[in-house]
Structure 1
Amino acid sequence: MTQYLEAGSHGSIGDTSSKLSAVARGAAEPDLIIRGGRLVNVHTAEIMPDTDLVIANGRIVRMTDADEVPAGDRTTEIHAEGQYLAPGFLDTHVHYESSMVTATGFCRGVVPTGTTGAFMDPHEIGNVLGLEGIRLLLDEAANLPLKTFCTIPSCVPAAPGFEDAGALIDPDDVREALEWDDVIALGEMMNYPGVVAGDEAVHEKLSATYDAGLKATGHFASRETGASLDAFIAAGISSCHESIRREEALARLRRGMWTMLRQGSAWKDVPETVKAVTETDVDTRHLLFVTDDTHPDTITERGHLDRVLRVAISNGLDPVTAIQAVTLNAAEYYGVAGDLGALSPGKIADIVFLDDLASVAVSRVMVDGEMVAEDGEWVADDVLPDENEHTAAVKEAYPEWARKTIEIEPPGPADFEIPAPTDVEEVTAPVIRVHENQVTTSEESMTLQVDRGTISYSEDVSKGAVLERHGGDGSMGKGFVTGFGFDRGAVASTVAHDSHNLLVVGTDDEAMVRAAERTIDLDGGMVAVDDEVLAEVPLPIAGLMSDLPLSEVSERVRRLEDAWRELGCDLESPFMTMSLLPLAVLPDLRITNRGLVDTTQFEFIDPAGAD
């Protein structure tokens, strides 16, 4: 990354420093003055009433008392009396792919809510298409008004030896990508057991990161707060978003770690983890808020970081402290505070106008000194393709090899059978229990009946299967899962973290076949079936993202949620919960294309319960 970013078409501060100083001292007229706002000063944690912001070349040059600086003949004035002026919000850990749209659709959805910058970990597309796929996503994002920074994926695949992805990003690939201009850090180090145990390849990637002068971001999914956490941090990893308890967040803060509190569509950790600061007197300079994984309907209906801030504030956090966490703290962590994270001289004029502070009521959004959104709607011309042109623009950005990634033959009913030990009428099998709005699962032993040599389904116990879909060996792992509440039908998805193989969960083998077949026909996506297809969300780009506008994808997701409820599941964001069933770097029990994995002992186990 260069030391200073470009303020859109105005260039960097190095290109315009003389002009900026001239405007600040009154020797040249400003481009814009925002009059009379209540400035949220994140440097000093105070609200400054009746403050004007003077702007030139897309940057703030002065913050003054109201009406101190006169307008020039070519100066635009915007009146903000009664409104709060906050820096643009920065999401320090997010996967664009989880929104089911590409960078253009994500930008259209989040910028009007106040998010003006995002530190993206594209490990979803990386697991399917490798560095070439990541490059496609970054190239698309390069000219959008949302400032996109890349943390290069560190774990592709996430759990080597336990799953098969569509690509491999090895230490040499990491070293190459760290030289890209838009890469700012190493992405979440998910192989935390490898860090703690001294895995050579893991530490080679960390060493390459530090040699490049960049940060390594973390994913310490263990609930331990002692020696293993210390070993993880001692390896140089400086942030983590995996706290789910107050004690975990507090332990990270006390160790100097930049502690990311997560509130996505399904992972709703903030009400618990924010207690680490609301119930203590610890300093919050290392506090960050992230969305991680957010579905399209969450963005269109409830917002993005503005939603996360509302949750934090409603759970007792001071509003200015909350805003600091997604502005100044975020910019300081990633080393971009020279440009972003505050409203003070020299900073890029990314500004969020708020009608109310406590409810984070976003009224207008400015990027690079230009108003781009008002009342949740885009007002800037020519910064995004028209919604009618969206699909064509996305298809142009992603060639056919990125849109035809499902390389698998449709399965038959017999493929989903799980054989029982010989001559038994029932088995005691390990069953994955999912938990609503949590990333963790738990293992339960349950008695299941045997019919003609295969294990039968039972009430609230479904079968899960993961089919390798990247043109490899066509392997399939199987197991049982409970907690979804299905009483009939099946669901399937190629969003199956992190290798994104074909994941199917159902109540009978024939329904699972129908769900798998339809998902393959779509070139990837999400499907719910009973005797027929009930709802579907096509995701042809890498099997992860749609080429449709965000609003249309959001509507399809709502219909999919209705279909899941029709099948008996009333969990919130259930397909996001399902998508983590194969993620073998999270506790306790997971299914990958290679089999059923005990992720506490990191060993395969028999889904029939045999020793």
Structure 2
Amino acid sequence: MDMAADRTQTMTAFVDCAAELVDVAMGRSAADLVIRNARWVNVHSGEVVEATDIAVRQGRFAYCGPDATHTIGPDTEVLDAAGRYVVPGLCDAHMHVESGMITVTEFCRAVIPHGTTSMFIDPHEIANVLGLAGVRLMHDEAVAQPINVWVQMPSCVPSAPGLEMAGASIGPEDVAEAMGWPGIIGLGEVMNFPGVAANDPTMVGGIAATLRAGKTVGGHYASPDLGRAFHGYVAGGPQDDHEGTRMEDAIARVRQGMKAMLRLGSAWYDVAEQIRAVTERGLDLRNFILCTDDSHSGTLVHDGHMDRVVRHAIAQGLKPVTAIQMATLNTAEHFGLEREIGSVTPGRRADFLIVSDLASLTIDAVYARGRRMAEDGKLLVDLAPFAYPDMARNTVHVAGPLTAERFAVPAPGNTAQVTARLIGVVENQAPTQSLTVELDTRDGYVPADPARDVAHIALVERHRATGQVTNAFVSGFGYTGACAMASTVAHDSHHMIVVGTDRDNMALAANRLAEIGGGVVFYADGEEKALVEMPIAGLMSDQRAEVVAEKAQGLMAAMRASGCTLNNAYMQHSLLALVVIPALRISDQGLIDVETFRKVPLFVGGETG
């Protein structure tokens, strides 16, 4: 057994302690912990059971019933719930730690006080930079945590072959190898949905390796087309999907036997519309799961994690117990872990919350594996940092320094005005719009037009120092004055994205990130206004979550000071190169029409791409 496997043995497996649990339930042995006078939120029956006692042994529930007096011994810790609710620990069914700007350890530090005790993470961000070796690093950090962090093996690296070049690649043989790692729970979101429908060998091979291992295949069908392409995708094996934005999306997925994952992240608000399939159409709630996909550090520290999602779902008309089911039992069943997590019932891991008000999900204390982890919003345990090696650092390779001229867009021909394609950012959603705009030329170039909310966008290749810079235009940020933001978080290939109204500031921002090894930086009027350093793969900070959250807040403030009014502009910025979500994106290969999966010229009727 390797070191990673050793670190997973933080509690006794059920088969090895079942006899002890029986003895506790029968009163022949004493419990380690007993919670008395609780209101038991039972997600199996969908009810709240009054006046319940709960006994824990070896980090697992042993007894849930009216009176646990017979399980109390001289060394048993007894907690009087005093009529408060005992709720299963919350599960995030799909998310990417890297989007939080922090490591797995720091992510856990941030979310444990908010009641999250299980996470299903897809580290395809680091996979796009460091390949299988990067996935292994995050896997090993995940299995070392005091809460449950399962890893989905990235499936699409690059996400859209032929439309982008990532820093690494993942093939079916890599998927097959990872399926034997102790913390791997399944295959991460299969984003190349045209590839699945076309029986692409890479997609078919990765899905087959996962199914042969008896694990779950994650889905990602980002098209609004629910016709033949959708049916072909479902037939290929994906078992869930979090890319729906409409009620009909949720209905279509559930009818085809998939789980509809409804997300509320820092910038994506997809729960309210889709949950109508349950609240208005009466579809079976067992097939709906809540997730974040994704939350940045500021949201985690200041607003919450899965507790925030559950509260939001309740606000849409769900009963509290129903919303909790969608963030606990439904998730556990989907990943084949219903005997381990997802409910407060005998044999399961003793992951639970003490909640004083169910409707507002007011969390007084958080327990994981029978151990008190947080109380009154404060973490009570120390989490040892994970040491990322040198190979995970210094990953930003830019042929530079970059000059302002590299961000200039030459005008096609000798014309005073051109028609350009324009990426349109959509507030609180991952999809973009494919727009066109008439722009004036100046001195042989096409400048941005901040007065009409048209900014420059550039993608700088950062894995192989090729010197490639792709230039285009974007709308929706609302920037005024001379400013620019650059980020090496650029889903999914994670090159460097620079958005700005002024080429000089764009050059300053890009060169700054190359200097420090990655992160996100904002410049205005030639001055650095905000910086979040992310030296680990150019994706994650090595600082504490609260420090990163403060820097992220400073970044948002700098963006707002330059006219940006988007709810979470950093998250929107980070998706502008995501060439598997419609409609128009930018990549190192050019401007990509995701609805047709082809490269298109920047100028309508022109040849310049």
**Which TM bucket (shorter chain)?**
over 0.9
Report how far residue 67 of structure 1 moved: 5.1
Q: Secondary structure at the match of 1:590?
A: strand
Q: Does 1:402 align with 2:392?
A: yes
> What are the Cα deviations for residues 533-560 of structure 1, in whole angstroms up to 9, with x where unaligned?
0111001100000011000000000000
Residue 106 of structure 2 corresponds to 105
Report how far residue 19 of structure 1 moved: 1.6
Report how far residue 410 of structure 1 moved: 2.5
Q: Hey, what's the Cα distance between the residues in 1 that align with 2:351 and 2:80?
A: 16
Q: Hey, what's the Cα distance between the residues in 1 that align with 2:502 and 2:172?
A: 43
Matches within 5 A, 1:576-595: 576-595=571-590
Q: Does 1:465 align with 2:464?
A: no
Residue 528 of structure 1 corresponds to 522
Report how far residue 608 of structure 1 moved: 2.9
Q: 1:594 to 1:80 in 2, by over 3 A?
A: same
Counterpart selection for 2:550 from 548, 555, 567: 555
Q: Hey, what's the Cα distance between the residues in 2 that align with 1:52 and 1:291?
A: 32
> What are the Cα deviations for residues 370-418 of structure 1, in whole angstroms up to 9, with x where unaligned?
11100111123xx413xxxxxxx34xx1111211101112311111111
Kept in 2: contact 1:243–1:269 (CA 8 A): yes
Q: Secondary structure at the match of 2:64?
A: strand
Q: Does 1:247 align with 2:240?
A: no
Kept in 2: contact 1:597–1:603 (CA 8 A): yes
Kept in 2: contact 1:492–1:504 (CA 8 A): yes
Kept in 2: contact 1:433–1:481 (CA 8 A): yes
What is the TM-score when the length of structure 1 is the normalising length?
A: 0.96
Q: Hey, what's the Cα distance between the residues in 1 that align with 2:577 and 2:39?
A: 48
Q: Secondary structure at the match of 1:454?
A: coil
Q: 1:445 to 1:182 in 2, by over 3 A?
A: same
> What are the Cα deviations for residues 201-257 of structure 1, in whole angstroms up to 9, with x where unaligned?
211211222222222110000112232222111112110000101111111112221
Kept in 2: contact 1:278–1:316 (CA 8 A): yes
Q: Secondary structure at the match of 1:496?
A: coil
Report how far residue 421 of structure 1 moved: 1.5
2:334 maps to a residue whose letter is: Y
Report how far residue 150 of structure 1 moved: 0.8
Q: Hey, what's the Cα distance between the residues in 1 that align with 2:156 and 2:268?
A: 21
Kept in 1: contact 2:87–2:344 (CA 8 A): yes
Residue 447 of structure 1 corresponds to 438
Q: Does 1:505 align with 2:499?
A: yes
> What are the Cα deviations for residues 39-78 of structure 1, in whole angstroms up to 9, with x where unaligned?
0011110100110001111111111114543521111100
Q: Secondary structure at the match of 1:40?
A: strand
Kept in 2: contact 1:127–1:157 (CA 8 A): yes
Q: Does 1:479 align with 2:479?
A: no
Kept in 2: contact 1:7–1:59 (CA 8 A): no
Residue 390 of structure 1 corresponds to none
Unaligned runs of 5+ in 1: 386-392
Kept in 2: contact 1:50–1:81 (CA 8 A): no
Residue 363 of structure 1 corresponds to 364
1:401 maps to a residue whose letter is: M
Kept in 1: contact 2:54–2:68 (CA 8 A): no
Q: Hey, what's the Cα distance between the residues in 1 that align with 2:551 and 2:129?
A: 23
Q: 1:129 to 1:470 in 2, by over 3 A?
A: same
Kept in 2: contact 1:523–1:539 (CA 8 A): yes
Report how far residue 6 of structure 1 moved: 10
Matches within 5 A, 1:79-478: 79-380=80-381, 383-385=382-384, 393-394=385-386, 397-408=387-398, 409-458=400-449, 459=451, 460-478=453-471
1:562 maps to a residue whose letter is: A
Deviates more, 1:223-232 or 1:24-33: 223-232
> What are the Cα deviations for residues 448-487 of structure 1, in whole angstroms up to 9, with x where unaligned?
1111211122121111010110125332211101111011
Residue 487 of structure 2 corresponds to 493
Report how far residue 138 of structure 1 moved: 1.6
Q: Hey, what's the Cα distance between the residues in 1 that align with 2:63 and 2:218?
A: 35
> What are the Cα deviations for residues 276-325 of structure 1, in whole angstroms up to 9, with x where unaligned?
11111211111100001101111111110000000000010111111111
2:26 maps to a residue whose letter is: R
Deviates more, 1:60-69 or 1:495-504: 60-69
Residue-pair matches, total: 598
Q: Secondary structure at the match of 1:344?
A: coil
Q: Hey, what's the Cα distance between the residues in 2 that align with 1:96 and 1:9?
A: 22
What is the TM-score when the length of structure 2 is the normalising length?
A: 0.96
Kept in 2: contact 1:8–1:58 (CA 8 A): no
Q: Hey, what's the Cα distance between the residues in 2 that align with 1:439 and 1:344?
A: 37
Report how far residue 197 of structure 1 moved: 2.1
Q: Hey, what's the Cα distance between the residues in 2 that align with 1:206 and 1:144?
A: 28
Q: Hey, what's the Cα distance between the residues in 2 that align with 1:513 and 1:285?
A: 51
Q: 1:429 to 1:158 in 2, by over 3 A?
A: same
Unaligned runs of 5+ in 2: none
What is the root-mean-square deviation of aligned Cα atoms in Å? 1.6
Residue 560 of structure 2 corresponds to 565
